[in-house]
Amino acid sequence: MGNGASYSKAKTVYLDVNGEQQKIVFSTHSSSRDISDLLCVAAGVGKWVNITLRDQDGAFVSVAPTMPINTVRNPYKVHAHDQQRNAQGSNDEFLQGVMTQVAEQFNKAFKVQDLKEEVSSRLTAMERRMENITYKDQAEGLKAIEIEKCKMEIGHLKDELLAAKKSHAKFCKCSGPVVDEKRIVTKRDVPKYPKYTLSNETIKYLKKPTFDIWHWESNEMLCLLEHMYHELGLVKEFNMNPIVLKRFLLCVQENYRNNPFHNFRHCFCVTQMMYGMIHLCELHTKLSLLDMATLMTSAVCHDLDHPGYNNTYQINARTDLAVRYNDISPLENHHCAVAFKILSNPDCNIFGNCAKDEYKQIRQGMISLILATDMARHSEILDKFKSQVTGNFDFNSAEHVNSLKMVLIKCCDISNEVRPMEISEPWVDCLLEEYFMQSDREKMEGLPVAPFMDRDKVTKPTAQIGFIKFVLIPMFEVVARLFSQLDDQMVEPLREALYRYEELKLIEDSKKEEVEIEELQEEEDDVIVAGNTY
């Protein structure tokens, strides 16, 4: 574990590509994008083609490093879905058309200030058209070098447009501060979003903390999240357009990065646990629908655009995020900013039909909850909640309810060890992989390295024992004072997990002691051999 060897294991998956057998081999720390590219190569299609896998029963298989392995006798069937559009007209006409459209929009931008957003949108659309060119198109004459030249020209135009915008802002009082931010929009059309029918077993299972989040691919997770909003009555209460809800969730998914741990599956995991706690604790009898909408949406958005490097790194490395937010919860502030950037798009604003006061409450609540996920504030938040519970917790007190909501999202954010071992243990691997990526970078940049992130010092048991004993169990025990049903469902599984890791630690220590004894014995033997040579 100390040398990271256990993270380099390879997995082999067998495929059925139109009746022809293929296989791919990948490491357990490969990204989903890497595995998808391998599948495209095996299927003989371009990397922009969408690949799905089905098992022998026709069920979808998630394209992820955690995907179940199979055998030669039961390969996964590969299905390629070409969602690309053929280039219109000849290759020369296509390139000329792209450049003409860009030039026209660029010239208009100088004349009309309000066209800036439209120009950016058109540039983005054209870039996607460039990406959608298939290998077949290239073979028919559209050379890669010409594509790259066109992309470079688009890049130059963007730079000139930004410079013009800055120059205009400098001399025009009507302009606000210049912020170089990408416009957040969905990258897929909603009509192409597949529809799944959930069985009664899945609907019931979804409410349990034992729910296995590893068996679901991205579109299925989107469908499950959508179901949660409908089942809790949030869609009806806030008059959400179901298509807008789809766009919102789709946009959220596309603004999570492919980190080993802080990715969209983690977002789904946290939200599912929140959904489970709402039902387990019967929160609908204690809290308002506005509170539950705030809890669920905060869980969905709580790690948006996480870069994979924590606040300590951001501050020590003096990143743009740390500078922007003055070293105060830079990541959590960024997650909030991205969340409300998405909601500022009318096509994605699930609260667009709310009254202004309602939306204001939801916004303030989401900011409070997402900022509460910064572990630097753990003691402050838990101590306040503990004092309220120890006294006389009042569900009619806005201050008490806000403390409860902050602790609930904290519980859900770090709740993996509540789940069964076969579900929780892969998350430890993912988290340690992300930690090791950060510590390796910190060593390379000469920054301080936390011992619990150092691949040469940490093991699974040492990483989890202190965290479960001093963070998880005390926090869940306090919440269980209000909701006794959590004792059996969550606190007891945490105690079992602690016991399991303590047993593993004893085994590790025993093996380490044996190795040390063997090394001492070898040194003694060497001394004896050396003495006999004289």
Residues annotated as part of the active site:
262
Please name the residues in contact with 497: beta carbons below 8 A apart, sequence gap of 6 or more: 417, 421, 424, 464, 468
Render 494-527 in DSSP notation, one character per residue.
HHHHHHHHHHHHHHHHHHHHHHHHHHHHHHHHHH
> How crowded is residue 204: how many other Cβ atoms within 10 Å of its Cβ?
10
- Asked whether the CA dihedral 336, 339, 342, 347 is positive or negative, the reply is negative
Q: What are phi and psi of 183, to 5 degrees?
A: -80, 130
**The token pair that represents 219 in the structure block:** 């579109």
Q: HEC states along 266-288?
A: HHHHHHHHHHHHHHHCCHHHCCC
| Structure token digits, residue 225 | 């999240």
CB 293 within 8 A of CB 365: no
Strands 76-81 and 10-17: parallel
Distances (CA, A) of 357 to 127, 186, 403: 40, 27, 21
Nearest in space to 373 (alpha carbons), one of 491, 266, 289: 266
Lookup result for tokens 């940490």: 458
- Between CA 393 and CA 387 the distance in angstroms is 9
Q: Please report the sign of the dihedral spanned by the C-alpha atoms of residue 291, residue 296, residue 299, residue 305.
A: negative
Report the Cα 357 to chain-centroid distance in Å: 30
d(CA 507, CA 495): 19
CA distance 138 to 146: 10
Residues ≥6 apart with Cβ < 8 Å to 402 = 365, 368
CA distance 479 to 461: 25
Q: For residue 11, give every residue at least 6 positions away whose Cβ sits within 8 Å of its Cβ, in sequence order, or none.
A: 25, 26, 27, 28, 65, 67, 69
How far apart CA 487 and CA 310 sit, in angstroms, is: 31
